[in-house]
Amino acid sequence: MEQGPSKTSESILHHEEKVKGNSSLACITPDPERFGTLEKLRAVQKRVLNFLQGICKRPCREQLMNILTINRDVETDAVFIRACQEEEFPEEIRCLNQGHGITNRKSKLFKCTPYLDELGVLRIKGRIDRIEGVDMDTKRPIILPQKHRVTFLIVEYYHRKNYHLHNEIVVNEERQRYWITGLRALVRKVANACVACRIRVARPTPPKMADLPKERLSPHTQPFTFTGVAHLKSQWAAGTRRDGAFVARRGVPRTILSDNGTNFRGASRVLKEHIERISTSAVEQQYPTLEFKFNPPSSPHMGGVWERLVRSTKSILSEIWPKAGLKEEVLRGAFADVEQILNSRPLTYVPLESAESEALTPNHCQGQF
């Protein structure tokens, strides 16, 4: 039994791409949505024109022939700019090709004086044609729509060309060649989308501040009940000795706070050893609540309350005795002056118009307890 011819199936693979818009140059213009910079779009457009110049043998229309004979890279922009204009302003270009003016009052170009140049690019006429030494782009700038990708790439190029500087610089550079509706809004949009600018102006989000420690929230307690200690190492303290004068004047504090300086850590260890050796019931009864606390490591801000007063102390000392090498007696007198000045600083705001009010100072608290 003879078998019939076998049937074979053939499939043809091909690529189809829909041309967006109704531009006559859309078939020879790369899709600007696929490019991130104007330089890349220019390079691809130049390759397309070079390819067309090699294969195009038959006569073309005058405008297309002018486009294919473009040599300078800067003139390559006319191809995708014209395609951009034909997508956004088809009715206006049709009216101009027919020799009519724009009659649609809703058109963005109704109040302008647009025309088509020899390449078919839409430009706006001005009143400075007689000026000499000025480019045609400045005399008659190219019209560009605000929301097209080509316009975005052009503005982004000038934004990078001017090193991400102030937006008004970019606006001024754009207006030398282009007429763009809503230019300032577009420049702001480009700057907001620029990664380099976003990194440059970025600010870290501050963490949520924790609650204040109980030492800062202790009303009806004597001054220096909670005491912060800082190491004042400077030329004024050279050759001085250490003793318990603070405690003798202000009393024994309940809590002493300090940072993690090696001197404070060492002093804490030595004090613990001595206290354990001489610990008696009388000592425990006399100092029942004395506690020495250290701030967490790498957190100098937790001692900012007394560190700010240390800065004020050093500033006053530098004005009283700018020279180095003070003896102990002179240094004690200087610290007494510093104490008086700091305790006289106002803690509340007093308006100048009020003659009866008095500013609250730390000196007001000296005799309250």
Residue 324 pLDDT exceeds 80: no
What are the tokens at 254?
A: 């309940």
Same domain, 148 and 40: yes
Q: For residues 320 and 312, what is the distance between their CA atoms, to the nearest angstrom?
A: 12
Q: For residues 153 and 33, what is the distance between their CA atoms, to the nearest angstrom?
A: 10
In a domain, 8, yes or no: no
Residue 295 burial (CB count, 10 A):
16
Check residue 218 and give its pLDDT: 84
What's the whole-number mean pLDDT along residues 320-337?
75
Check residue 165 and give its pLDDT: 85
**Banded model confidence at residue 101, pLDDT cuts 50, 70, 90:** confident
Check residue 61 and give its pLDDT: 64
Q: What is the pLDDT of residues 184-239, one digit of tens each?
A: 999 999 999 999 999 998 888 888 888 888 888 888 888 888 888 877 665 554 44
Residue 183 pLDDT exceeds 90: yes
CATH of the domain at 351: 3.30.420
The CA distances from residue 43 to 25, 37, 74, 82, in Å, are 17, 10, 11, 17
Q: What is the pLDDT of residues 49-70, one digit of tens each?
A: 888 877 776 656 666 677 777 6
Percent of the chain residues topping a pLDDT of 90: 27
> Pick the residue with more confidence: 241 or 333?
333
Percent of the chain residues topping a pLDDT of 70: 78
Same domain, 191 and 241: no
In a domain, 216, yes or no: no
pTM over 0.85: no
What's the whole-number mean pLDDT along residues 133-160?
94
Residue 139 pLDDT exceeds 90: yes
Check residue 177 and give its pLDDT: 93
Q: If you average pLDDT over every residue of the chain, what do you get? A: 81
Same domain, 182 and 252: no
Domain that holds residue 331: 222-365
> Pick the residue with more confidence: 77 or 352?
77
**Banded model confidence at residue 121, pLDDT cuts 50, 70, 90:** very high
Check residue 219 and give its pLDDT: 82
**Banded model confidence at residue 360, pLDDT cuts 50, 70, 90:** confident
Query: Of 39-48, 50-59, 75-84, 302-311, which range is least confident?
Result: 50-59
Last residue of a domain, one of 169, 200, 231: 200
In a domain, 43, yes or no: yes
Q: For residues 38 and 153, what is the distance between their CA atoms, to the nearest angstrom?
A: 5
**Banded model confidence at residue 282, pLDDT cuts 50, 70, 90:** low
Same domain, 39 and 153: yes
In a domain, 19, yes or no: no
Question: What is the 8-class DSSP label of residue 2?
Answer: P
Q: What is the pLDDT of residues 242-278, one digit of tens each?
A: 445 677 777 778 888 888 888 888 877 887 777 677 6
Number of domains the chain contains: 2
Check residue 369 and give its pLDDT: 47
b (16+ CB within 10 A) / e for 166-201: ebebbbebbeebbbbeebeebbebbbeebeeeeeee
Q: For residues 224 and 246, what is the distance between their CA atoms, to the nearest angstrom?
A: 10
Check residue 228 and give its pLDDT: 86
CATH of the domain at 182: 1.10.340.70
The CA distances from residue 115 to 41, 66, 109, 129, 314, in Å, are 26, 17, 11, 14, 75
Residue 45 burial (CB count, 10 A):
23
Q: Of the candidates 68, 87, 85, 64, which has an alpha carbon nearest to the alpha carbon of residue 76? A: 68
